[in-house]
Amino acid sequence: MNKICLTLALILGVCFASNIKCTEKQKLARACTFEYEPVCGVKVDPSSNYIQSFSTYGNKCEACSEKGVEFYSSGECEKYPQDVVFCHPDAYLQPGCTRELNPVCGYFDESFQCQNSQCSSNYSNKCSACINKEISYYLQGFCK
């Protein structure tokens, strides 16, 4: 499922696979084309992947060639909730998470078929949310 989605995403640009890491090549781009396909480019604090700042860029090239932008999410930042924290694209590679209880509400990316508008799920902490590849971002606290 994920592989199909990824392949489709690469070919057709559909599925909006959650968050996408900037490649080295993208980071070094000297010039970008001007098409408007906005993304939300995310800079992460060196001390923690969960401390972030982000802004909207006209396209992924513009986002990734900006110093400090590590990954991006599809669409304008404004389409996400205000206190959003995006899951780092590599977060699923973590060996595991602590059991610390500090609940977050994780939101599935668009590759996930939401059943009865259940597009989110409670997790005991941010790590437990982001270690799931389908979780695109979270908000602090239980889902409302």
Task: Give contact residues for ligand NAG (rule: CB under 6 A).
Answer: 118, 120-122, 142-143
Give 133's contacts (C-beta < 8 A, 6+ positions apart). 2, 18, 92
94 versus 122: smaller Cβ distance to ligand NAG: 122
13 versus 141: smaller Cβ distance to ligand NAG: 141
Smallest gap from Cβ 144 to ligand NAG, in A, equals 7
97 versus 143: smaller Cβ distance to ligand NAG: 143
Smallest gap from Cβ 141 to ligand NAG, in A, equals 9
- Structure tokens, 103: 């609940």
Give the start-end residues of each E strand in 92-134: 104-108, 120-123
- Structure tokens, 29: 């781009």
Residue 133 CA to residue 18 CA, distance in Å, equals: 8
CA angle in degrees (0–180, nearest 5) for 119-124-126: 75
Smallest gap from Cβ 134 to ligand NAG, in A, equals 14
32 versus 143: smaller Cβ distance to ligand NAG: 143
Residue 59: left if φ>0, alpha if ψ -120 to 50, beta else—which one? beta
**Which residue type does 9 have?**
A
Smallest gap from Cβ 66 to ligand NAG, in A, equals 35
